């Protein structure tokens, strides 16, 4: 009996020590937020909207000219969350390679707005990502409130917008 009480005391002491060490055992929660384009994107002008078709899994340019599509990703109201890798998922349904140009406008609510533009070649018949990451922001996390504006050629669709978030949830 004395021996088991001694072990219990040692275990309780070890557990208490873990809780008193503070950030040495901080836990980070990594998760991905995805929103499909049909609910989070729209044509930026009425003229563009006439060329676009929203389907459950995408918003497609079914017109004969490029159209601008604006998308917003719902953000956590938590400025300490780190948005490390973000992007726009697109599918090229044409028989030729196309270039997709997107601008990420981030921040503006709790942080100063920052803007990054990227053009990515998308092979014929392929699904690809127009990516943005901390390297675009000088190695710093990208602020919350992620918004995109993309020039989408005919036969191309936006499937989704996403962010990978790392958040300190304590110990």
Task: Determine the pLDDT at residue 144.
Answer: 78
Q: What is the pTM of this model?
A: 0.78
Q: How many CB atoms lie within 10 A of CB 25?
A: 10
From residue 128, alpha-carbon distances to 59, 97, 131 in Å are 15, 12, 9
Task: Determine the pLDDT at residue 77.
Answer: 58
Task: Determine the pLDDT at residue 13.
Answer: 47
Listed as ranges, residues in the chain with pLDDT below 70 are 1-26, 75-82, 168, 170-171
From residue 144, alpha-carbon distances to 77, 107, 129, 132 in Å are 8, 5, 19, 13
Task: Determine the pLDDT at residue 53.
Answer: 92
Task: Determine the pLDDT at residue 2.
Answer: 47
Fold of the CATH domain 27-170: Jelly Rolls (2.60.120)
CB-based burial, 32-47: b 16+ in 10 Å, e otherwise: ebebbbbebbbbeeee
Polymer length of the chain = 171
Task: Determine the pLDDT at residue 81.
Answer: 58
């Amino acid at each position: 009996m004395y021996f088991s009480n001694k072990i219990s005391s040692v275990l309780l002491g070890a557990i208490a020590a873990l809780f008193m060490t503070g950030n040495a055992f901080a836990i980070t929660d990594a998760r991905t937020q995805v929103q499909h384009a049909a609910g989070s994107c729209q044509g930026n002008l009425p003229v563009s909207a006439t060329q676009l078709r929203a389907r459950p899994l995408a918003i497609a340019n079914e017109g004969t000219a490029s159209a601008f599509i604006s998308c917003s990703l719902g953000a956590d109201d938590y400025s300490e969350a780190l948005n490390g890798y973000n992007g726009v998922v697109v599918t090229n349904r044409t028989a030729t390679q196309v270039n997709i140009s997107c601008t990420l406008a981030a921040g503006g609510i709790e942080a100063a707005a920052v803007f990054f533009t990227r053009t990515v070649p998308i092979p014929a018949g392929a699904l690809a990502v127009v990516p943005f990451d901390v390297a675009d922001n000088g190695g710093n996390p990208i602020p919350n409130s992620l918004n995109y504006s993309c020039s989408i050629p005919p036969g191309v669709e936006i499937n989704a917008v996403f962010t990978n978030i790392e958040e300190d949830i304590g110990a």
